[in-house]
Each structure stands twice: as C-alpha cells, then as structure tokens.
Amino acid sequence: MSNNTGEQTSTTIKRGDTIALISISGGRAGDEDMLYRYEAGKKRLEEVWGIHVIPTPNALAGSNFLYEHPEARAEDLMWALQNTEVNGIICMMGGDDSYRVLPYIDLNVIKNNPKVFMGFSDITSWMAVFAKAGIRAYYGPNLLTPIAQPVALDPYTEQAITKCLFSAETIGNVSACSEYTNIEWRNVGKDEIKWVSNTGYRLVQGSGVVQGRIFGGCAGPLRQIMGTEFFPGQDFFNDCIIMLETGSPYGSTLAGLHELRALDAAGMFRHAAGLIIGQLNEEEENMLVKFLKYEARREDIPVLSNVDFVHRTPMTVIPMGAMAEIDCSRTTFTIMESGVVE
C-alpha cells in the first residue's frame, strides 16, 4: 500500500487530556432538541475516561448554520489541530456533506499536527483526507451515537475505545460483539432498547490468511469525493484490507451495488487483499458474491461479514492504515498493531 497511510500515528490519550468535539458533518448537536444528548455524551466521556471535553468554536452553532457555512466547519478542524491544549478530536455525528468542507482545509495543518481524530459514517471522507496528509485517523464512535446512547455506554464500545486510543499495546483479535441493537436517537429507557444475540462473523468467501493495511468506511462518502485530490489512487488499495459499508443503513440492495460498481471502477478491489463488511441479509450477500465474481473479477478475495464498524450499536474502533489480518479458517479479524503510540 502507498506509504501515505499511517505515516504518523497519534500519541495515546491520557486521563486529564483535552478532547475537542467537532461538528464537521451534521450539526444536530447544537439544535435545541439535541443539546441534552450532547451534554450526556460530554459527561460520559469525562466520567468514563477522566478527560477534559470542550466543543470547537462552531460545534454547537446548529444544523442550519453549519449547513450554510461549511467554511466554519473547516475553521473548527484547523482550530482544534493547531490548539496545543487539544490532544484529540471526536466528531459529534455523521451526516451527508463533508465533501463540501474540503475546499476550505489546509492539508499541511493536518500533516503537521497529528492528533487522534475519530468518527464514522459521513466522516469516512475525513479518513481519506487524513490518509492523504499521512496521518492515521480512527473510524469509530461519534459522540451523539453510540457514545451518548441512552441509559449507558455498552461495554464493547467502551473497551474498544480504551484499547485503541488509551493504550499503546497491540490491539490484537477483534472479536464480534455478543449482542447488538439499532442506533437509538430517542431519549428512551432501558426497557425500550431491544438487544439481539449476535451470530458472530461469517466467512462469505475466501480461504487462507491474508494481511494488509486497512482502509475504508461508508461507500457513499467515498463516492462523493471521487474526482477530488483526496480520493486515493489505484495503487493505494494494493494489498489493502478494505472495510466497507454500502448503501444507507435504511437503503436498498441496488443502491449498494451502484456504490460497489463505482468503487470498482476507481480500482479499489483490483489488488486488494481482503474485505470486511457489516451484517448482510441473504439478498445482499448474493448480490455481493455475484458482483465480486462477474464484475470485480475477485472471486478469490476473502470476505468477512458482520464486523462491528457499521450503523448499529455497539461499535469497535479501526485505526486507518494499521496492519490487519483475516484468517478464513478461524473466521477471525485481527489488528496487528497498536492504535496509538506512547
């Protein structure tokens, strides 16, 4: 893989460090009906990990302002990176238009100020931006969900954050969660949250053991930045383990297929080592297998499904650019490096 992924790795977050919360995509954290959720997530970060939490200057400006002013979102990122008192950045939420912020960023500021930057969903675009700058970013929980999920933070998500961001030890085997639930945006009680027993990882196709640097996220945001300087070139994906969530979590199989086709045209699958994806129903799995065989011509590529980085709770943390492994015979997924360094 190109050496512009994971060139620089952030240092561990420690108790007492300052974390900035940023609304670099959607701005719901600052809307009146969602402020309680922001406060709950902020308090949870402080209580669970003993860190100091602050919002970036425009993080609570609200959905309308942040939609109308993508440059304000860029200013917040530059502010957080250049602020010597800030040790890391966690995104408030995803959304659908991070690509509109890209014209206003200074890539050198990202390159010269390596810090933990974590989020998921539309934050996928920023995984590519940080990779372009040679800085490791972290695909993982946003503040509003799942960190601020109702009732309590689940142990799986808590342990994943601690292991990846607060420890310099090798992450190792990433096990499947024991149970999961849908993302819950309502302010509900414990009895209203329905947990489902998890069946674990599923080997969709492939054999043997493959290793590679990991990269990916949601297909939609990656598709939005195609044609920009931030979308990786074909060589970037060589020997890569791709992590991919296709379609909207509420979308159609056909929408997912269109995204796969676009990414294939951009060279993502041609020389990739493996693929991890979320939970698939029978129709989705059949579509994926058919696509890989007849369109991507990658009937050989190992594919592991039901991995916990998608739009549901709980969620793991994936350090972009870290060496990872899929073992088809054992049906395991392993991250072979630490997420951060001392």
Q: Does residue 159 sit in the same domain as residue 196?
A: no
Q: Does residue 154 sit in the same domain as residue 200?
A: no
Burial group, residue 181, by CB count within 10 angstroms (0-12, 13-18, 19+): middle
Q: Which two tokens stand for residue 286?
A: 């059949």
Using DSSP's 3-state secondary structure scheme, residue 71 falls into helix
What's the CATH code of the domain at 113? 3.40.50.10740
Q: Can you say how many angstroms the Cα of residue 189 is from the centroid of all Cα atoms in its chain?
A: 27
Which residues in the chain show pLDDT less than 50? Answer: 1-6, 250
Distances (CA, A) of 279 to 211, 309, 312, 329: 22, 10, 10, 19
Q: How far apart are CA 241 and CA 215, in angstroms?
A: 7
pLDDT of residue 47: 98
pLDDT of residue 255: 81
Cis before 314? omega within 30: yes
Q: Does residue 97 sit in the same domain as residue 202?
A: no
Residue 53 CB neighbour total at 10 angstroms: 18
Nearest to 98 by CA among 23, 189, 25: 25
pLDDT of residue 209: 98
Q: Does residue 162 sit in the same domain as residue 195?
A: no
Cβ proximity of 135 and 32 under 8 Å: no
What's the CATH code of the domain at 302? 3.50.30.60
Q: Does residue 258 sit in the same domain as residue 154?
A: no
Q: Does residue 266 sit in the same domain as residue 327?
A: yes
Q: Does residue 149 sit in the same domain as residue 215?
A: no
Task: State pLDDT tens for residues 232-251.
Answer: 999 999 999 999 999 765 45
Q: Is residue 8 one of the residues assigned to a domain?
A: no
Residue ranges of E strands in the chain? 18-22, 52-55, 88-91, 116-119, 138-139, 172-173, 179-180, 196-197, 202-205, 209-218, 240-245, 274-277, 303-305, 318-319, 323-327, 332-335
Q: Is residue 4 one of the residues assigned to a domain?
A: no
What is the domain extent for residue 205?
190-335
Q: How far apart are CA 128 and CA 242, in angstroms?
A: 13
Q: Which of 109, 135, 168 is the last residue of a domain?
A: 168
Q: Which two tokens stand for residue 266?
A: 């951009």
Q: Which of 114, 138, 168 is the last residue of a domain?
A: 168
What is the gyration radius of the CA atoms in the chain, in angstroms? 19
Q: How far apart are CA 25 and CA 82, in angstroms?
A: 20
pLDDT of residue 252: 60
Q: How many domains does the chain have?
A: 2
217 φ, ψ (degrees, to nearest 5): 145, -135
Q: Does residue 280 sit in the same domain as residue 151?
A: no
pLDDT of residue 249: 57
